[in-house]
């Protein structure tokens, strides 16, 4: 690496020219990478609800449903709007009662059950079948077209459903996304300017990291698309995680400058930085790659993007950042000032004086931390983490009040099921607790509407592709035990009449999401810990050190994950999966840095306490600077984001950075001191330089 460092130092201008050239296609890749806003789309193909979704989509050309409610609108005016909506690209069909029963028949003459499905006080309901997936561009364009048509009619209305909700969420996310990076950059710059000796070095750091972020986001184009969660947190997270490497490089360069000229000093700094951060970078990358093991493919999305980001961040730290530092070295040293961070000599004295005290504090923290982590509640409903003043959410809540409409299930049975059996099945489903109403072909035709009078267009709403489609409205909310039990009862009834019957909709998809993510959470935690254990074991050639370091890191993670249980906060389910990997990956950097320095000092010091005192005082400033910059990069997003999934994730990252800093600086040194005899016996060449 020394020769590589020498080449980079001598050819710094060439390195920057190459970096700028590579940035151009990255910008285009960033612009043209599609964003997926539908979490349910990341369910595996073998999930029962996904299979049902595919069957219904292939048979009827649509699975998404938008609920449109008119207020104080005459049926004749609604007829005009419905006719226009039917011709919108992306609309499969419209389920409107007056397409089946003529306007000349007054509402009072309609069967009560049928009338109550559509008419409630001054409200009138129609269901719109949307073609394509929930967050597909064509579907979202159809949602916008529908809203424009109804707006032009001058009728008061409410429009909701998964696609309208996602459409509104995109508008919110797009209005905020530029602020995420801007605020992260501003707050990180302030932290670094105060913590480092030069006010100009934060600018250099952010430019260097900025290239890595741009390359990472640009190369996402080759993935086809990324989730909105990944898009929102990737740049901020990459900024926070790779900031460590930048700080380590600069501090080493400053040390080497005392003995060598700037070219030689940078070559040596690159060599030693590459050696010291390789294990930390590898463990961070590995912890992110553990997310790929998730059946919920959102984990693959986040894992690949973040692992790629860390790798590109390391490459940029060893190439672009040294070039920038050398080019702007005069400016860096011109704008120097005294840092606000104190020297950590006294702090190190206190921590190392009686290590047993901090170890006991750590052991005491284990019980409330683990208890809190186990009892932290999570939510799975898409709309719960969104701004409640979004028009689609307002509409959804109003529909819940007026129509007692919480969820809509879609059932597909073979069209060869006898009509009498289908009728019997529908009647039995109506008796299931929480079912408001059921609409099927057999439920529509009767004395009021003979089969012969049913328009072919209306018939295709129920029969197509070899299946009959049945609509079920539930008064039970999505992601509750009640709706799960309800769906189980409905499925049992369905299977009696058709073993190959399918159920789809938001509730079945969310039920699979709950079951799959619960398993994923356990598997990812175990896998990420095992991977990190192996990497640390190989890096330090030790049996005991991996267990000690991971044990202390897991305490920090449990403290972070357990806090919501005591504050009464319900977090998004994905937070519990992602935070474990993110915090493990970032905290292990601090742990390895401190442990490596402790090992170095043991080789030359006479006393292990003195070795730890020097190691802690030497590394504390880097750890504090890195943790505070990570905190600054994430806390800003938490403050401004109106989307709870994003604010919750970044909030826990920000809090986790401070907790990890405290645990590594206060508890890990004491644990290493007490366990040093064990480490000595179980580590190859522990005290050798």
The pLDDT tens digits of the residues spanning 232-254 come to 778 877 877 788 788 888 888 88
CATH topology of domain 1-32+196-337: Multidrug efflux transporter AcrB transmembrane fold (1.20.1640)
Looking at per-residue pLDDT, the higher value among 67 and 585 belongs to: 67
Torsion angle of C-alpha atoms 37, 43, 45, 47, degrees rounded to 10: -140
pLDDT of 383 strictly over 70: yes
Give the mean model confidence (pLDDT) for residues 678-683.
90
Residues contacting residue 52 through CB under 8 Å, at least 6 positions apart: 410, 412, 502, 503, 504, 508
Give the mean model confidence (pLDDT) for residues 433-460.
75
pLDDT at 17: 95
Residues contacting residue 153 through CB under 8 Å, at least 6 positions apart: 77, 80, 81
pLDDT at 151: 93
Instruction: State the Cα–Cα distance between residues 62 and 93, nearest whole angstrom.
Output: 8
pLDDT of 400 strictly over 90: no
pLDDT at 452: 66
For residue 124, list its beta bridge partners.
Answer: 70, 119
Task: Look up residue 241 and give its two tokens.
Answer: 């995680």
Nearest one of 296, 221, 266 to 50, comparing CA atoms: 296
pLDDT at 85: 94
Work out the pLDDT band at 491, boundaries 50, 70, 90.
Answer: very high
The 10s digit of each residue's pLDDT in 576-600 is 777 887 888 778 888 888 998 898 8
pLDDT at 446: 63
Q: Cα dist. 213→178, 243, 270 in Å?
A: 14, 12, 20
**Start-end of CATH 1.20.1640.10 domains in the chain:** 1-32+196-337, 341-381+514-689
Alpha carbon 58 to chain centroid, angstroms: 30
Residues contacting residue 523 through CB under 8 Å, at least 6 positions apart: 293, 294
Q: 467-474 and 435-439 as β-strands: parallel, antiparallel, unpaired?
A: antiparallel
Give the mean model confidence (pLDDT) for residues 258-284.
85
Instruction: State the Cα–Cα distance between residues 470 and 442, nearest whole angstrom.
Output: 10
Give the mean model confidence (pLDDT) for residues 116-120.
87
Work out the pLDDT band at 113, boundaries 50, 70, 90.
Answer: confident
Work out the pLDDT band at 453, boundaries 50, 70, 90.
Answer: low
Work out the pLDDT band at 688, boundaries 50, 70, 90.
Answer: low
Work out the pLDDT band at 450, boundaries 50, 70, 90.
Answer: low
Q: At what angle do helices 419-430 and 481-497 cross, to 10 degrees?
A: 160
The 10s digit of each residue's pLDDT in 312-331 is 999 999 999 999 999 998 88
pLDDT at 240: 72
pLDDT at 58: 86
Q: What average pLDDT does the structure give for the chain?
A: 88
Rounded to the nearest 5 degrees, what angle is found at the Cα of 534, between the Cα atoms of 317 and 551? 95
Nearest one of 277, 301, 280, 276 to 289, comparing CA atoms: 301
Q: How many CA atoms lie within 13 A of 120 on its CB side?
A: 15
Nearest one of 166, 138, 163, 148 to 65, comparing CA atoms: 163
Nearest one of 356, 347, 349 to 675, comparing CA atoms: 356
pLDDT of 345 strictly over 60: yes
Rounded to the nearest 5 degrees, what angle is found at the Cα of 595, between the Cα atoms of 589 and 598? 140
Q: Cα dist. 273→374, 543, 579 in Å?
A: 39, 25, 27
**Radius of gyration, alpha carbons of the chain:** 30
Residue 206 φ then ψ, to 5°: -70, -35
CATH topology of domain 341-381+514-689: Multidrug efflux transporter AcrB transmembrane fold (1.20.1640)
**Best-predicted range by mean pLDDT among 11-25, 581-595, 626-640?**
11-25
Residues contacting residue 470 through CB under 8 Å, at least 6 positions apart: 410, 411, 412, 413, 426, 429, 438, 439, 440, 462
pLDDT at 454: 67
Instruction: State the Cα–Cα distance between residues 170 and 228, nearest whole angstrom.
Output: 9
Work out the pLDDT band at 451, boundaries 50, 70, 90.
Answer: low
Instruction: State the Cα–Cα distance between residues 188 and 180, nearest whole angstrom.
Output: 12
Work out the pLDDT band at 125, boundaries 50, 70, 90.
Answer: very high
């Amino acid at each position: 690496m020394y020769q590589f460092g020498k080449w980079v130092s001598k050819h710094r201008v060439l390195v920057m020219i190459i970096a700028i050239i590579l940035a151009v296609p990255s910008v285009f890749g960033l612009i043209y990478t599609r964003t997926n806003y539908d979490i349910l789309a990341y369910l595996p193909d073998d999930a029962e609800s996904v299979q049902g979704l595919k069957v219904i989509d292939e048979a009827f050309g649509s699975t998404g449903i938008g609920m449109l409610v008119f207020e104080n609108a005459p049926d004749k005016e609604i007829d005009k709007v419905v006719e226009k909506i039917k011709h919108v690209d992306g609309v499969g069909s419209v389920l409107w009662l007056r397409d089946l029963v003529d306007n000349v028949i007054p509402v009072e003459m309609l069967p009560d059950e049928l009338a109550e499905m559509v008419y409630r006080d001054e409200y009138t309901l129609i269901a719109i079948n949307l073609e394509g997936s929930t967050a597909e561009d064509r579907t979202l364009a159809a949602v916008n077209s529908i809203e424009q048509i109804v707006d032009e009619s001058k009728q008061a209305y409410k429009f909701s459903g998964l696609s309208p909700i996602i459409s509104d969420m995109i508008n919110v996310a797009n209005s905020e996304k530029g602020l995420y990076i801007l605020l992260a950059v501003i707050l990180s710059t302030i932290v670094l300017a105060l913590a480092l000796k030069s006010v100009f070095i934060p600018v250099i750091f952010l430019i260097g990291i900025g290239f890595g972020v741009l390359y990472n986001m640009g190369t996402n184009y080759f993935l086809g698309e990324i989730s909105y969660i990944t898009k929102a947190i990737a740049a901020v997270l990459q900024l926070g995680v790779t900031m460590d490497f930048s700080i380590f490089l600069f501090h080493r360069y400053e040390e080497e400058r005392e003995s060598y000229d700037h070219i030689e000093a940078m070559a040596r700094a690159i060599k030693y930085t590459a050696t010291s951060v390789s294990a930390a970078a590898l463990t961070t990358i590995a912890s992110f790659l553990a997310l790929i093991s998730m059946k919920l493919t959102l984990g693959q999305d986040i894992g690949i993007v973040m692992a790629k980001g860390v790798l590109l961040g390391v490459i940029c730290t060893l190439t672009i950042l040294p070039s920038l530092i050398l080019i702007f070295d005069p400016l860096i040293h011109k704008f120097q000032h005294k840092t606000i961070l104190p020297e950590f000599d006294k702090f190190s004295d206190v921590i190392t004086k009686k290590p047993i005290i901090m170890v006991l504090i750590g052991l005491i923290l284990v019980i409330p931390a683990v208890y809190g982590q186990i009892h932290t509640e999570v939510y799975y409903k898409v709309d719960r983490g969104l701004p409640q003043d979004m028009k689609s959410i307002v509409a959804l809540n109003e529909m819940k009040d007026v129509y007692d409409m919480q969820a809509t299930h879609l059932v597909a049975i073979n069209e060869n099921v006898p009509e009498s059996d289908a009728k019997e099945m529908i009647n039995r489903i109506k008796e299931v607790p929480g079912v408001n109403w059921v609409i099927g072909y057999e439920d529509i035709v009767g004395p009021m509407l003979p089969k012969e009078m049913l328009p072919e267009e209306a018939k295709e709403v129920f029969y197509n592709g070899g299946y009959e489609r049945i609509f079920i409205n539930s008064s039970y909310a999505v992601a509750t035990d009640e709706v799960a039990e309800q769906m189980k009862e409905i499925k049992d009834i369905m299977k009696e009449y058709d073993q190959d019957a399918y159920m789809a909709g938001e509730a079945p998809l969310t039920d699979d999401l709950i079951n799959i993510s619960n398993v994923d959470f356990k598997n990812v935690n175990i896998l990420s810990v095992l991977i990190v254990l192996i990497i640390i074991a190989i890096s330090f050639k030790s049996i005991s050190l991996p267990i000690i370091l991971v044990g202390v890191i897991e305490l920090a993670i449990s403290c972070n994950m357990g806090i919501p249980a005591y504050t009464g906060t319900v977090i998004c389910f994905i937070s519990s999966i992602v935070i474990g990997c993110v915090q493990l990956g970032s905290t292990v950097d601090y742990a390895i840095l401190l442990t490596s320095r402790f090992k170095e000092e043991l080789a030359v010091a006479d006393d292990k306490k003195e070795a730890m005192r020097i190691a802690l005082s030497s590394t504390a400033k880097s750890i504090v600077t890195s943790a505070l910059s990570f905190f600054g990069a994430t806390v800003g997003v938490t403050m401004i984001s109106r989307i709870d999934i994003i604010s919750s994730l970044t909030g826990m990252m920000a809090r986790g950075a401070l907790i990890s800093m405290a645990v590594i600086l206060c508890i890990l040194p004491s644990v290493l001191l007490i366990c040093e005899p064990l480490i000595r016996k179980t580590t190859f060449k522990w005290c050798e330089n």
